[in-house]
Structure 1
Amino acid sequence: MKKQPLWTKDFLSISIISFFLFMGFYILLTTLPIYILDDLKGNESQVGAIVSVFLIAAVLCRPFTGKWIDQIGRKKTLLFSLTIFFLSSLLYLWTDSFLLLLALRFMHGIGFGMATTATGAIIADIVPNERKGEGLGYYALFMNLAMVIGPFAGLSMIQYTSFHWLFMLCTVLSLFALLLSLFVHIPECIVPTEKEEKSTFSFASFFEKNAISVSIVGGILAFAYSGILSFISVYAKELGLLEAASYFFVVYAAAILISRPFTGKWFDMYGENKIIYPSIILFAIGLVMLSQADTTLLFLSSGVIIGLGYGSLSPSLQTIAIKKSPASKRGLATSTYFTFFDSGIGIGSYALGVVAVYTSFSSLYIVLAGVVLLSFITYYFLHDKKSTKEKVIQTEAEMTI
């Protein structure tokens, strides 16, 4: 049987739109703290507020976005969200006070949360069912590339030019994303059944119940990963390896680039457990290595192992969340997964910062390795064991027919 094509015009277009979105996100994530401290004469607490308010806005809007995607359509939701994202990027050019910046970050977070939820749902519809793991893995790769290129481009620009031109770059990237979305053919929504449409304002109308179990696992892993996102540069400075910190995410992305062509295909061929369990173990090993790092080689090697582990986990869990849900609720499944994911990052960034005050970063990463191993058990009871039981019941039912 001939394989359904994966690298279509629409698949590439949505992946590139996602790349532009995350490029703008990572450029501002790494440079706005400097803008607040140097240009706006702010302080460290204001830097934390700017990061938090963006994430809060994204988390708050995701459940609503999932509902809108499935009810009013993917194309309309995507265009509306990218318009908000573009206007937000443009308004940075005239933001000259902390309060204005805070309000703008909330607006920008809404655009980002809506747009990334919409692109995730659309890509789930575009990718053929038998190549879901492979397709969503490659889609996630565009986000990983933005994670490496964005900070490098942003920090390089502010060394040689002004924030005005940095904000112009972000505006151009968001404009490209908006224009590209106009030419994408998006599959029509699968109409929900009468039973699925019954609840209008309830938990079930904002969260897809079939996606919650793996989303919880994703949230736990995101909590652990937030310890790397938030503190890797501080930890590197403490170790006297600050120069190596800039290459940590480069080797992390390189590991993902090398492994992604295989892990996605293996997911589709051998099942999710053959990817999830080894990846959790690799992530935990990488955190232990990071906790013991005292040389550049060990520090960067941990980035490779974490890339192989965590880099495979997030797209795989998202794929499971989508495959377990009805086709008419893929938007809701996507928003459910990212709501738990963003919450894990947000809670982790704050909670681990408090913990770091009372302990060393080395001890912190050991603890996080334990948290990752906890997700191993959580995944087994919330998904693996339950899925095995469902398959047994289904097989028995088929045998009695």
Structure 2
Amino acid sequence: MKKESLWTKDFLGISFISFFLFVVFYILLTTLPIYVLEDLNSSESAVGLVTGIFLISAVLCRPFTGKWIDSIGRKKILLFSVFIFFFSSLFYQWADSIPFLIALRFFHGIGFGMATTATGAIVADLIPEKRKGEGLGYYALFMNLAMVIGPFTGLTIVQYANFSWVFTLCLIMTVIALLLSFIVRFPEAAVSSEPHALKKKDFSLSSFFETKAIPIAIVGGILALAYSGVLSFISIYANELGLMEAASFFFVVYAAFTIASRPFTGRWFDIYGENRIVYPAIILFAVGMLLLSQATNTFFFLLAGGLIGLGYGNLSPALQTIAIQNADPAKRGLATSTFFTFFDTGIGLGSYALGVIAVYTGFSSLYFILGGVVLLALIAYYFLHGRKVSWNGNVIQPSKNIT
């Protein structure tokens, strides 16, 4: 049978919207600390607040966004959220004080949280059912590319120009994302198998979280907490090891390994089922973290980045696919927001808590501990999801006693 088309203009459109949003996110994530310290002459604590407030607002708005996506409509929420993102990007040129910048970051985080939740729900509807793993894998690849291109671009501009150029570039990319939001077409809503389920106006847990997605979202949150140690402290750790030159290539190697494996892992997910992807990926992630904790030279430092890319780089889209597949079709927006709420919470908690732990343990011991946390996620995955599906991806039905 002929495969249903994946690479449609609408799939590419929504993927590029996500790409530009994440490029802006990573540019500002890596350059604003320099802006706060040098241009605004503020402290390290202000850097943490400016960084953290963005993620806090994104987490707070995700559950509401998932509910609104499935009730108000995907197109309206997408346009509204990208407009918020656009107006936030517009005002960075005048962010000349910490209070103003913190308020702007909070507002910007709302736009980011809503927009990325919307794009995740929309792309799930655009991908053919039998190519969900492959499609979401390629969609996540655009985010992986943004993770490399964003920091590299931002830090390069800072070296040769002032921050006005950084903020102008972010605004241009946001305008492109906004224009694409008007062009992309997609199915507005799916048919629910639970009649009137979305018409409830109560404030129960199920109103803001897709309960069927919570188990796998918990696994994603644990893994995100472990990954936050890499995202937040890899440059500091590299400096301790005397490998600062290698640090700039860490995420390049990470992305290269992820990109090289993505055409295979997404397709294998659809053919062989989630367990044959998730179990090996978690093990590779754990091995990468343990190797990172023992790295003393450039080769092992970058090899650890490659293994983490093979592991964690493939886990995020795989777990998101599981969350969406477990949900009712009409609740894909809610499932997407549920997954990313746990994911962002793991990143946010990890960025703060692991920094405190590292003061007492050192970064080498911290990464060794995080290798154990990843293995803990392996156990959590087994009990929360893995044991419920066979190795070919089929759901295991409970045995019945024959009398």
Question: Shared fold by TM > 0.5?
Answer: yes
Q: Contact 2:71/2:198 (CA < 8 Å) preserved in 1?
A: no
1:107–1:289 CA distance, 2 compared to 1 (3 A): same
Compared with structure 1, are the counterparts of its residues 153 and 392 closer, same or farther at alpha carbon in structure 2 (3 Å cutoff)?
closer
Q: In the TM superposition, what whole-angstrom CA distance separates every residue of 1:36-66 from its partner, at most 9, and x where no partner exists? A: 0111110000000011100000000000000
Aligned residues: 397
Q: Which amino acid aligns with 2:8?
A: T
Deviation, 1:94, is 1.1
Counterparts of 1:35-184 in structure 2 under 5 Å?
A: 35-184=35-184
Counterparts of residues 249-260 of structure 1 (less than 5 Å): 249-260=251-262
Inter-partner Cα distance in structure 1 for 2:398 and 2:300: 48
Structure 2 residue matching 1:391: 3-state secondary structure: coil
Checking the alignment, whether the CA contact within 8 Å between 2:70 and 2:198 is kept in structure 1 is no
Residues 230-285 of structure 1: CA distance to partner in whole angstroms, max 9, x if unpaired? 11000000000011000000000000110000000000000000000000000000
Deviations 1:268-306 (A, max 9, x none): 000000000000000000001100100000100100010
* Equivalent AA in structure 2 for residue 128 of structure 1: P
Query: SS in structure 2 opposite 1:5?
Result: coil
CA shift in 2, pair 1:195/1:81, >3 Å: closer
Rate the CA distance shift 1:87–1:201 in 2: closer, same or farther, 3 A. Answer: same
Note if 1:391 corresponds to 2:398. no
Correspondence for 1:314: 316
CA spacing shift, 1:349–1:191, aligned 2, 3 Å: same
Contact 2:228 2:347 in 1 (8 A): yes
Give the Cα separation in 2 of the matches to 1:333 and 1:29. Answer: 26
Residue in structure 1 matched with residue 11 of structure 2 by the alignment: 11
Is 1:271–2:288 an aligned residue pair? no
Name which of 230, 236, 239 aligns with 1:237: 239
1-side partners of 2:399 and 2:265: how far apart? 28
- Are 2:21 and 1:21 aligned? yes
Q: CA deviation at 1:194?
A: 1.3
Contact kept? 2:388, 2:396, Cα under 8 Å: no
Q: Secondary structure at the match of 1:182?
A: helix
1:373 CA displacement: 0.2
Q: Deviations over 1:178-201 (max 9, x none)?
A: 001101112121254214433532
TM-score (norm 2): 0.96
| Structure 2: 5+ residue stretches without partners | none
Aligned-residue RMSD, C-alpha: 1.5
Partner of 2:199: 197
**In the alignment, is residue 302 of structure 1 matched against residue 304 of structure 2?**
yes
Q: 1:110 to 1:396 in 2, by over 3 A?
A: same
Asked if 1 retains the 8 angstrom alpha-carbon contact of 2:191 and 2:329, the reply is: no
Query: C-alpha distance in 1, partners of 2:172/2:200?
Result: 42
Q: How does 1:368-387 map to 2 (within 5 A)?
A: 368-387=370-389
Identity of aligned residues (%): 67
How far residue 392 of structure 1 moved from its aligned partner, in angstroms, is 4.0
Aligned CA distance change for structure 1 residues 394 and 181 (closer, same or farther; 3 Å): farther
CA distance in 2, matches of 1:191, 1:279: 33
Give the residue type in structure 2 aligned to 1:124: A
1:202: Cα distance to partner? 1.4
SS in 2 for 1:190: coil
Moved more, 139-148 or 194-203: 194-203
SS in 1 for 2:3: coil
Amino acid at match of 1:393: Q
Aligned mates of 1:310, 1:322 — CA distance in 2? 19
Q: Is 1:348 paired with 2:350?
A: yes
Unaligned runs of 5+ in 1: none
TM-score of the superposed pair, with normalisation by structure 1 = 0.97
Q: Secondary structure at 2:397's aligned position in 1? A: helix
**1:9-39 Cα shifts (integer Å, max 9, x gaps):** 0000000000000000000000000000111
1:2 positional shift: 1.1
**Amino acid in structure 2 at the alignment position of 1:32:** L
Offset, 1:95: 1.1
Structure 2 counterpart of 1:220: 222
